Amino acid sequence: MAYPSSLTLLAISACALIVYSIVTAIYRLYFHSLAKFPGPKIPALTLWYEFYYDVIKRGCHIWKIEEMHKRYGIALCSGQTLSFDSFDLSAPALLLSKSVPSSPLAHLAYGGLQDLSFG
């Protein structure tokens, strides 16, 4: 029995990584419970956007969030992070009305929103 060469295994791994990345991107843009919230699409895809502004641009992510608030109001800042421009007691109702899981309360209880930030 012949074993596959290391080059073949590398090619299969690369293809699997590409397919995984495409499927993850489609899920985050169209099917994730936070996909209905406004905001730029690149931060919705990856946490590297936040890394770029916090590490490479030396802490400028907070200013980018402020720009998003001016443009979108409630903004999807990165991956699974929503940011609110003010603390409003109606925010939980807004979250429940815009999220689309079958049971919004159960979804929130089981980590649908990992991080909410105000400010």
> Please, what are the averages of pLDDT over each run of 10 residues along the chain (119 residues)?
86 96 91 83 84 86 83 74 67 53 43 47
DSSP secondary-structure letter at 88?
A: -
The CA distance from 78 to 97, in Å, is 21
Residue 6 within any structural domain of the chain:
no
Residue-range definition of the domain harbouring residue 86? 32-118
Which pLDDT score is estimated for 102? 46
Residue 97 within any structural domain of the chain:
yes
As beta bridge partners, residue 18 has none
The CA distance from 108 to 99, in Å, is 10
Residue 11 within any structural domain of the chain:
no
pTM exceeds 0.85, yes or no = no
Residue 3 within any structural domain of the chain:
no
Residue 103 within any structural domain of the chain:
yes
Judge whether 79 and 63 are in contact, CB under 8 Å.
no
Residue 70 within any structural domain of the chain:
yes
How many CB atoms within 10 Å of residue 17? 10
Residue 73 within any structural domain of the chain:
yes
Domain count, the chain: 1
Alpha-carbon radius of gyration of the chain: 18
Query: What tokens appear for 3 in the block?
Result: 């074993």
How many CB atoms within 10 Å of residue 13? 10
Residue 55 within any structural domain of the chain:
yes
Which pLDDT score is estimated for 103? 44
The CA distance from 20 to 116, in Å, is 27
Which pLDDT score is estimated for 96? 55
